[in-house]
Every structure is written in structure tokens, then in C-alpha cells.
Amino acid sequence: MSQKTTVYLESDDDITAVVEQLKTANEKIVALVIPKRAEVFSSMVNMKLLKRVATQAKKQIVLITDNANVSKIAGAAGVYVAPSLRSKPAIPVTQPAGLDTLKSVEEHQLYSEKTTDSVDTNSSDSKDADASSKKKSKIKVPNFNAFRVRLILVVVGLLAIPGLWYVGFKVLPSAKVVITTNAKNLPASVELTSTKETDTLDLEKKLIPASSEQNKQQYTEDFEATGEKNIGDKASGLMTISNCKKDDTTATIPAGTVFTSGSLNYVSAVKVNLDSANFDGSQNCKSNGGHVKTITVTAQKAGDQYNLSSRSYTIKGFSAEITAFGGDMSGGSTDIATVVSQEDIDSAVQRLYANKDDQAIRNQLSNTLTSNGLIPVTDSFYAKEADPVSDVEIDEETAGGTVTLDVVYTMRGVRETDVLAFMLPELESMAGDLQVIESGVASALYKATRLDSGEYKITVSTTGVAGLVLEKTAVFEEIKGRPADEAAAELRGREGITSVEVTSSPFWISSIPNKQDKVVIEINGQQ
């Protein structure tokens, strides 16, 4: 029921004060009690202003007064008026002067026609006519049109009552029941072991069988040769070696000994044995004898820069007492060719690793395991790679080559029922008197560590849910047709239910409908 605010006005209140009191009223219906002398309500302008302010503030005003003049102005402005606070408010009807509001329009027309005839007030006929007219004017003519309208409304109302009752009590009624149970989360974790030999569950040793899925891939990367190599001739010449050691010992120069002049190296091809040194009277090492031998040496690399004139050389790995003097070195030439360098192969291998998409293979293996009814342990993803292989050798004269990499990818998967066999006892031990209604195994976090032996340590972490299990159909059968308050009290009394809220619609419905499609049941706290 709507509430109203009653405001008692003072006789000296102006229109501004009245408007302010209307605006500050808290309720939607405002009853303004007007004093006997209230000049402010004698103005049509003030009355319309008051009406407009009430409309803008979304309020309804009622003037409490029995002043006929104020009521007339209020009726013209469309404002409700009541003679007292207990009376039913109405908008006064304005009408022409002299009309009796209790008579029908036809009665007023009849009265008007009779009073328009002219009569002589001094004649006796006139007096008789007046007496006859007054007598007739007291006779009321029934309004048959109004009677017919009322009769039709009554008949229509009687016919509509059954339909309205059916709609109001059979079609429109609905209810919503919200049940909250005391569900709680159960964080649990188990560590399992999977080996190639494990094909059955072992609850005591926590061994779980796992299926492996493999994917073999071969990646290739082409490259161009960018190395350079001199394939010209190597210079060669004679090298004279002298043993001038003063300790009177022999010397042996092995094959492959390097003779150096500046940055250029020459290599011997034969072994040389030198006798002990032979000196003259001035202790100068003689230039001939068994301590002196001449051999052929060849430049370490090709190139015309190895064509040298005769000069002294140092011998790598020997003291300065073993001397070497070379004659003219000749025959060296320069011819640069494009060959495969180590950098060419290394760069191709780097590109190959950058382009291979391990994540795509991981997703493919995971999807395959899932389609086979297994839970993929994505952490078990393992890529066994062979060494990259080039189809051409380093320093090989060619335009380019190809590097190949073979990889075998592996991922393991476990059955949900197998994991549940280990996880469910853990969850039940934490659930207490409640029932495990969600294990969380399907969406659990699976961490796997691969050991050197090839077996895996798999850690499964999940958050299960324990609570009261309710079937919506069973709940409906229990509460259908019962008063809403009674049904709510019945459900609240059950163990595991923390709260029950029942909402019925429309407002006149107080019972749960008998049709299940009219009742919405929500259960919070269970999956």
C-alpha cells in the first residue's frame, strides 16, 4: 500500500513555501491541509504551478479542504481534492451553473424547454400552469442508457472472472528456489611414478601406467657456400739444415717440421738425422759435413706469396743452434675458389633450430592423447634430437648444401580413472561427513620430471569439492504444492543446507506450483 505525507499549511504561506514543502516531502502522495483562509489557492496560476511541480517530482498531491472556490479551481487544474484526510480524493467536475448533478442530461433538457415558455404572472391560468410545471419538474425520468452500460459491464465481468482466475492462478504462477549448501574446497596432491614396464596400477607403490605417443620429424635447411679457398699450387724449394750445437750432440729433424719466414710456413716431408757439430779453429760451424743436410720443403698453403728468395728460416720447436737456410722458393700460384665454410654450416643449423616448431608438435601429441581418452601429461613432452648432418664437407668446392636434423618427440598420457584411484582416497579423507562431488582430476595440474633412467615422476595437484548432493527433481517433488514458507522451512532443516530462499510470482501466489516447468531450482555449492 502506498504511504502518504501530510503537510499542514499556514494561512500566510505563499506559493514558494508551498512548493518547497511539496518538493521535500518523502512519500509519493502528499496531502496538503489548507487553512480556512488561504489566498494562495484562489489563483488558477498558483494551482497550475503546484500541479506542474508535483508532476515533475513524480508525486501526487491531494488538497484537503471543503472550500467550494478552491475545489472549483482545483477541478479546472486537474488536482485531487478531499474534504478530510479520511475521505476518498477526487478531481472536482466543473459544470454549467444551475445544473443538478444528480439529474441526467435528458432531465436538464426537459427543464430547460419548460422554463423558456413565456407566461403572465397575473392570470389564474398562469398560476395553474406554474403549479402544474412545478409538480412535473419533481418527476425524475430514468436514464436507460446508463442502465444498459452498467448491465453490459456486469455481464462481461461475470464472464471474465473464470478466465482471469485461470490466468492468475494457473498460468502466471511461478517460483524460484535458491538452495545454498556448505560445500568446501579440498586441495590435494599425489606423486606417482611411471615407467616403461608399468602396465598395471600399484596403489601401494604409487605406480601408474602411462601410454606414450610419438611423432618423428625431419627438419632441413639449405645454405649457400660463402667460404673461399686457394686451390692454386704450393711453392717448394731446398732447405739446408745445420747442427751447430756446442754440446757435441746429434740432432734429429722429424718429417712435418715447420720452417718459418715471417708469417709464411714451409713443411718438410722427410726425417733428417744430423751428426754432432763440426767447428773450425775460430769456432765457426762448418758449412759441410755430416752435421749438415739439405732437404725439400713445401709451402703450407698455396699462393704466389710463398715464392721467396733465398734466406734464413727458424725451425719450430728447435733452438737457434739448429739453423736453416732456404734457397729460392718457387712454383706457388693463387686460384681462389668458393667452398663450404664452418660458418656456413653453423648458420644453417641455427636457422634450422629457430624454424622448427616444437609447440605445434606438443599440441598435436596432446590432442592425440586426448582423443584416445587419456589425460596428456604435457610436462612429459620430450624431444630426442640427433646431431645435425651436412651433405657436403667443409672446404668442399660447391655452390651450397643442406643440413638435416632428425627429431623424435614423445609425450605421455594417463587414464582419468587411474588417477582418480589414487586421488579419491586423499579427497575423501579431507571431506569428513560431506560427500566428494567433484574430484577435479580432469582439470588438475600435472607436473612431470624425466629421470635419467627414462622413468617419470608425475605430480598431480587438484582442488576437489565436497558438499551435499541434491537432485533438483527430487527437491521439486518434495516441495510442490506446499506453501512457500513451509517448503523453505522444511529444506532449511536438512543437514548440509545453509540457506533457502523461495520467491513466488505474482505477489498473490503463496504456494509452490505443481508443474516443474514453473519452478526454477538453483543449488549453490555443488557442481
Measured from the Cβ of residue 158, the count of other Cβ atoms closer than 10 Å reads 9
Give the pLDDT of residue 525. Answer: 64
Q: Which residues of 84-122 are buried (b: 16+ CB within 10 A; e: fewer)?
A: eeeeebeebeeeeeeeeeeebeebeebbeeeeeeeeeee
Is 322's pLDDT higher than 80? yes
**Residue showing cell 709451402:** 299
C-alpha cell at 42: 484562489
Give the pLDDT of residue 228. Answer: 92
Three-state DSSP state, 448: strand
pLDDT band at 2 (very low <50, low <70, confident <90, very high): low
The DSSP secondary-structure symbol of 367 reads H
Give the pLDDT of residue 140. Answer: 53
Whether the predicted model's global pTM rises above the 0.75 cut: no
Which pLDDT tens digit goes with each residue over 51-97?
898 898 888 999 999 888 888 898 888 899 999 888 889 998 865 44
169 vs 123: CA distance, rounded Å: 74
CB within 8 Å of 285: residues ≥ 6 apart: 242, 244, 277, 278, 279, 291, 323
pLDDT band at 365 (very low <50, low <70, confident <90, very high): very high
Which pLDDT tens digit goes with each residue over 379-414?
999 999 999 999 999 999 999 999 999 999 999 999
- The region, left, alpha or beta by phi > 0 then psi within -120 to 50, assigned to residue 373 is left
Element (H, E) at 193: strand 184-194
**For the chain, which residues make up each domain, given as ranges?**
4-82, 105-137, 173-209+415-527, 211-225+340-414, 232-334
Which pLDDT tens digit goes with each residue over 410-448?
999 999 999 999 999 999 888 887 788 889 998 999 999
Q: Just give the CATH number of 232-334.
A: 2.40.30
Beta bridge partners of 31: 6, 62
Which pLDDT tens digit goes with each residue over 182-193?
778 899 999 999
Which pLDDT tens digit goes with each residue over 97-149?
444 443 333 333 333 333 333 333 343 443 444 444 444 444 555 566 676 77
